[in-house]
Amino acid sequence: MAIEIETPSVGLSKVAVSETHGEDSPYFAGWKAYDENPYNEAYNPSGVIQMGLAENQVSFDLLEEYLEKHSEATNWGNTSCCFRENALFQDYHGLKSFRKAMASFMEQIRGGRAKFNPERIVITAGATAANELLTFILADPGDALLIPTPYYPGFDRDLRWRTGVRIVPINCDSSNNFEITPEALEAAYNEAESMNIKVRGVLITNPSNPLGSTIKRSILEEILEFVTRKNIHLISDEIYSGSAFSCTEFVSISEVLEARGYQDAERVHVVYSLSKDLGLPGFRVGTIYSYNDKVVTTARRMSSFTLISSQTQQLLASMLSDVEFTQNYIKNNRERLRKRYEMIVDGLKKAGIKSLKGNAGLFCWMNLSPLLEEPTKENELALWKSILHEVKLNISPGLSCHCSEPGWFRVCFANMSEQTLEVALRRIHDFMNKRECMKTIV
C-alpha cells in the first residue's frame, strides 16, 4: 500500500488567516437566523423580523419621484459624448460636479452653519473604505485609535484588519447617558500608554451609532481640546448627519471649527456617505473631508483602490445639485424618521421598556438591563438568544458594540414598513407580558 504524502497546501498571509474579519462573532448568528426564516407580511408572518440592519427605507419614494422626472440623470442625456466621457473618467479627483454637489448637500444638512470646499472632498467606495483609508494614513501598524463605546461593530474589522492598527475603547456608560467625558478620554489615552501603544487619534461617530443621539457642542469642544493637547487626530464619522430628527439638534465638528476660525483644523477629518441618509448603500458613495492638505493629497492618491463608479457619480451630481429636491428630501426624511422613532419609543414604553433619549439615526438604544438576572455579558447573550428564537426579532446586543454595561440593545426601525414595526412592537409587548406573568407566579 502506497503511503499518501499530502502536498503542502499553498500558504496565505497572516492578514488572510486572522479572524479580524469578525464574522465568527455571535453577532452574525442573528443574521443567519433571519436568513433562514425571514419575516414576510404575507408569506411568513411568524418569521424573524430583521431589526439589526441600519438601513433607511422610509424615503425611497422621494428618490423614485426624482428619477422619474429626470431620466437624463441615468441615461447620459442621450448624447454620445456624455456617455464616453463619463465611461472614461477615472480621475481620482472625482467628478467636479459630484464633489460640488456633495459639498453643497453637506452644507444643507448642517443648515448652512458650515462651509465645505469641493476641493477638499476625496471620494471612496463607501464610508467603510473612507474609515480604513484614513486609518492607513493617520496611524502605523501597532498604533491605536481611541473610540468611545459603545461603537459600530464594523469598526473592529474596518479599522484594524488590513491596517494592523488597534482600537482602545473610551468607556462611556449610562450614568451620564453614555456621554464622552474628558476623564474617559484621559483614561483611554493612559491605558494605551501603559501598554506602550502610541495613540494617533480619536474617532467619534456623530450622530452616534448605536446610541442614536447627537454629541453636544460642549463635548465636541472638549474632544477637540483633548486631541489638540495630545497633538493627535480627530475623525468625525458623520454618516448619520442627515438623519437627525431636527435640523438644529445636530452640531457638526465643522461648525465648531468654523466658529473658531479653523484654528487647529489640520488634525480634523470628516467622513460622510449616502448609505444611510439617502438609503443608497449599494451605490458605494463615501467621502473624506479633511482640513489637512497632505491628508487630502494622500487620501486622493489612495482612493485609486476604492473609487466611486463614474456612472454613479454622474447620477448623484445631478440629484444632489437640485436644491429643490435636496431641501425637500432632507426635511421629509427627518420628519419621517422622527415619527418612526416616536412610534417605537412609545411602543416600547407601553411594554415597560425604556430607551436612551435619542434624536438621530435609524435605531434606538434600548435598555433591557432590568431583565437580566445578573448584570453580565453571558446573561445579555442569553437574553439576546431568547429574543431571537422566541420573540423572533434580530436585534443587536450591546456587547457586540463593546458596551461596558450589559443589557443594552440596538433596535433598528427604518428598514421596514410601519406595519412590520407594529408587529415587532406587539411581539415585544407579549414577551414582556409573559415575563410579568411568570414573575407573578414564581
Whole-angstrom distance, CA of residue 313 vs CA of residue 118:
14
Which residues in the 134-173 window bind a copy of itself by CB under 8 A? 136-140, 143, 157-158, 161-162
| Residue appearing with cell numbers 459624448 | 81
- Verify binding: residue 307, a copy of itself, rule CB under 8 A: yes
Instruction: Verify whether residue 152 is a known catalytic residue.
Output: yes
- Supply φ then ψ for residue 93, to 5 degrees: -70, -25
Residue 262 is a binding residue for a copy of itself (CB under 8 A)? no
List 208, 214, 298, 355, residue binding a copy of itself (CB under 8 A): 298
In the region spanning residues 266 to 295, those forming contacts with a copy of itself, defined by CB under 8 A, are 266-267, 275, 279-285, 292, 294-295
Which amino acid belongs to residue 219? I
Site for a copy of itself in 180-209 (CB under 8 A): 200
- Is residue 406 part of the contact set for a copy of itself (CB under 8 A)? no
The question of whether 156 is a catalytic residue gets the answer: no
40 contacts a copy of itself (rule: CB under 8 A): no
Burial of residue 35, with CB atoms counted within 10 A of its CB: 0-12 exposed, 13-18 middle, 19 or more buried: exposed
309 binds a copy of itself (CB under 8 A): yes
Binding to a copy of itself by residue 323, rule CB under 8 A? no
Size of the site for a copy of itself (CB under 8 A): 76
> Could you tell me which of 417, 419, 423, 426 has the C-alpha nearest to residue 55?
417
Nearer to a copy of itself, 300 or 410 (CB): 300
Shortest Å distance, C-beta 360 to a copy of itself: 21
Residues 6+ apart with CB under 8 A from 431: 351, 387, 390, 391
With CB under 8 A as the contact rule, the residue among 301, 349, 377, 435 that binds a copy of itself is: 301
Shortest reach from residue 123's CB to a copy of itself, in Å: 11
Query: In Å, how far are 53, 154, 278, 368, 371 from 377, measured between CA atoms?
Result: 22, 19, 35, 13, 13
183, 190, 305, 339: which one binds a copy of itself (CB under 8 A):
305
The answer to the question of residue 336 lying near a copy of itself (CB under 8 A) is no
Per the structure block, which three cell numbers stand in for 365?
A: 438604544
| Secondary structure letter of residue 206 according to DSSP | S
291 included as an active-site residue: no
Q: Residue 7: is it exposed, middle or buried by C-beta count within 10 angstroms (0-12/13-18/19+)?
A: exposed
Cβ neighbours for 390, distance < 8 A, ≥ 6 positions apart: 431
- Chosen residue from 122, 129, 159, 388 binding a copy of itself by CB under 8 A: 129
Check 143, 158, 237, 277 and give the catalytic one: 237
Nearest alpha-carbon partner for 50 in 393, 420, 390: 393
Per the listing, cell 453643497 goes with: 104
> By CB under 8 A, is residue 120 in contact with a copy of itself?
no
Query: Which of the residues 41 through 100 are near a copy of itself (CB under 8 A)?
Result: 55, 57, 60, 63-64, 67, 71, 74-76, 78, 80, 83-84, 86-90
Is 143 in the active site?
Answer: no
Residue whose grid cell is 465568527: 24
Catalytic positions, please?
A: 152, 237, 239, 276
